[in-house]
């Protein structure tokens, strides 16, 4: 057990290699998630057709918003766990995960119940096409059953990364993906003893995969006696501590809003692109498919940098924090930059996966790639800066920076440049927004007050009394009359 915990210690040893080895499993988990979505889309499209694809697309948008919700609170809990683990306070690690799980299990169950009841109204709000409406309802209601399972899995995975363990989440991501993608055709068409469930079968495969994955992960945590496990008297930590829950909520809400800002900005951009016609919209859709993979190293490095910085801040190793930042920037340039160069050099075969080479959308997509894809190197640098500062509880500045770049800067540029540049104004807005974001993020890292921010849980009144009575002499509490 001691050796196992030592391997998760991010406060000692070489920084660059440790950061890379921590980020790679996180990157692997992201790739598996995307591949799972692609495989499931193939099964649905192959067996059920275009209307079913439209139905799953509407439901997946809702799932993304749910994941954005849990991302913020999970990231806040991860930072608290990382700082606690860095200072070797395993009890604080368990109190944090207990509060997070104890608060979010009832909340996710409530979301599932409300989602089941109001699913028809949600689909009406999304203007779901009439031909896909009933299919979307059948799919969405089963997906809402899976939401508590999937969100708790995400929370536990983020908690494990907080104690420096990025391999265990990868193991169980593999389990979930294999089950989900493998069971999709079984339940859709009814193979063997299973009934044909149609589109609801695709959702049922997700429910079973998440259930098995969650049970297996919890069993693994207890079998290996990992820091997140609760036993005996520690089970009382599942009753949320009010002070800790306030901290997680106060820090997690702005982090979740960052995901919402990015999502809304993407929806606005899709609306602007659609005005350019079908070929341009198709080309942009394909570019987004490829960009999903290009941005993965940046996201993985941002999570790795945040976990490593949190542990070192908790351990008081501020001398290592700036080195973590520099290593993160270097690895981002190598990893993301390498993918960008490969995509530009191999754009024809990459685009041929989605488009006919003779399609007019292919030339447009190549043009978009040349103009905009390199901005993900800057995006990765921003994720490193944001990962460092949020490891000490600074969450509002990144939110404001993202909002400014995504809306006032990007939309103003498009409005002013589009009459002269046409659609190129849309593609140029990506690197422009990334330049503004990375400059502001770098300035905040260098000159902002994030080092004075604290991701701390205020002590309860009882803890203050215990501390005062337990660490002072009676005479020392007598103050002279002024």
**Cα–Cα distance for residue pair 70/343, rounded to 1 Å:** 32
Please choose, from the candidates 213, 201, 127, 136, the residue with its C-alpha nearest in 3D space to the C-alpha of residue 176.
213
Cα 271 off chain centre by: 24
Measured between alpha carbons, how far is residue 181 from residues 41, 42, 136, 178, 290 in Å? Answer: 10, 10, 19, 6, 21
pTM of the complete model: 0.81
Q: For residue 199, how many C-alpha atoms fall within 13 Å in the half-sphere facing its CB?
A: 24
Q: How do the pLDDT tens digits run along the chain, 482 residues long?
A: 443 443 457 888 889 989 999 999 999 988 888 888 778 777 887 777 767 776 676 666 677 777 776 778 888 888 899 999 988 899 999 999 999 999 988 988 988 898 899 888 887 876 676 777 888 888 888 888 888 888 889 889 989 998 989 899 999 999 999 999 999 999 998 888 888 888 888 889 989 999 999 999 999 999 999 999 999 999 999 999 999 999 888 888 888 888 888 878 887 887 788 788 878 888 887 888 788 888 899 999 998 999 999 999 988 899 899 999 999 999 999 999 999 999 888 888 888 877 777 778 888 888 998 999 999 999 999 999 999 999 988 889 999 999 999 999 999 999 999 999 998 999 999 999 999 999 999 999 999 888 886 665 655 444 444 434 443 333 333 333 33
159 near 77, Cβ under 8 Å?
yes
The backbone torsions φ and ψ at residue 288, rounded to the nearest 5 degrees and listed phi first, read -65, -40
End-to-end CA distance of the chain: 55
Phi-psi region of 235 (alpha: psi -120 to 50; beta: other; left: phi over 0): alpha
434's CB contacts (< 8 A; 6+ apart) are 375, 376, 378, 379, 382, 405
Domain ranges of the chain: 14-240, 251-456
Burial (CB count within 10 angstroms: exposed 0-12, middle 13-18, buried 19+), residue 123: buried
């Amino acid at each position: 057990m001691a050796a196992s915990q030592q391997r998760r210690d991010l406060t000692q040893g070489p920084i660059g290699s440790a950061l890379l080895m921590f980020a790679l499993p996180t990157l692997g988990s992201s790739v598996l998630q995307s591949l799972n979505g692609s495989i499931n889309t193939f099964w649905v499209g192959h067996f059920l057709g275009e209307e079913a694809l439209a139905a799953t697309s509407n439901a997946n948008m809702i799932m993304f918003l749910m994941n954005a919700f849990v991302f913020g609170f999970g990231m806040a809990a991860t930072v608290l766990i990382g700082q606690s683990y860095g200072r070797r306070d395993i009890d604080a690690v368990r109190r944090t995960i207990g509060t997070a799980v104890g608060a979010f299990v009832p909340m996710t169950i409530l979301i599932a119940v409300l989602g089941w009841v109001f699913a028809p109204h949600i689909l009406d709000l999304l203007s779901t096409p009439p031909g896909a409406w009933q299919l979307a309802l059948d799919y969405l209601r089963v997906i809402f059953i899976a939401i508590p399972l999937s969100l708790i899995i995400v929370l536990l995975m983020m908690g494990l990364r907080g104690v420096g363990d990025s391999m265990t989440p990868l193991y169980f991501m593999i389990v979930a993906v294999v089950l989900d993608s493998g069971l999709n055709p079984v339940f859709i068409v009814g193979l063997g003893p299973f009934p044909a469930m149609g589109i609801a079968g695709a959702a049922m495969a997700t429910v079973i995969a998440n259930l098995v994955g969650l049970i297996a992960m919890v069993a693994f945590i207890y079998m290996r006696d990992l820091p997140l496990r609760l036993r005996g008297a520690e089970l009382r930590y599942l009753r949320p501590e009010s002070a800790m829950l306030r901290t997680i909520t106060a820090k997690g809400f702005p982090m979740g809003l960052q995901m919402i800002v990015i999502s809304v900005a993407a929806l606005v951009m899709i609306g602007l692109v659609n005005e350019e016609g079908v070929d341009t919209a198709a080309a942009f859709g394909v570019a987004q498919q490829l960009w999903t993979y290009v941005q993965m190293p940046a996201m993985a490095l941002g999570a790795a940098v945040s976990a490593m910085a949190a542990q070192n801040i908790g351990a008081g190793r501020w001398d290592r924090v700036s080195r973590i930042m520099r290593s993160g920037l270097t690895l981002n340039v190598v990893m993301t930059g390498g993918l960008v160069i490969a995509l530009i050099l191999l754009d024809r075969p990459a685009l041929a996966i989605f488009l006919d080479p003779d399609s007019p959308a292919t030339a447009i997509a190549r043009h978009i790639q040349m103009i905009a894809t390199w901005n993900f190197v800057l995006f990765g640098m921003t994720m490193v800066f944001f990962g460092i500062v949020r490891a000490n509880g600074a969450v509002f500045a990144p939110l404001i920076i993202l909002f400014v770049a995504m809306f006032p800067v990007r939309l103003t540029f498009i409005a002013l440049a589009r009459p002269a540049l046409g659609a190129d104004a849309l593609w140029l807005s990506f690197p422009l927004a990334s330049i503004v974001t990375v400059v502001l993020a770098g300035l905040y890292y260098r000159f902002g007050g994030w080092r004075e921010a604290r991701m701390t849980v205020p002590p309860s009144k009882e803890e203050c009394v215990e501390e005062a009575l337990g660490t002072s002499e009676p005479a020392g509490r007598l103050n002279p009359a002024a």
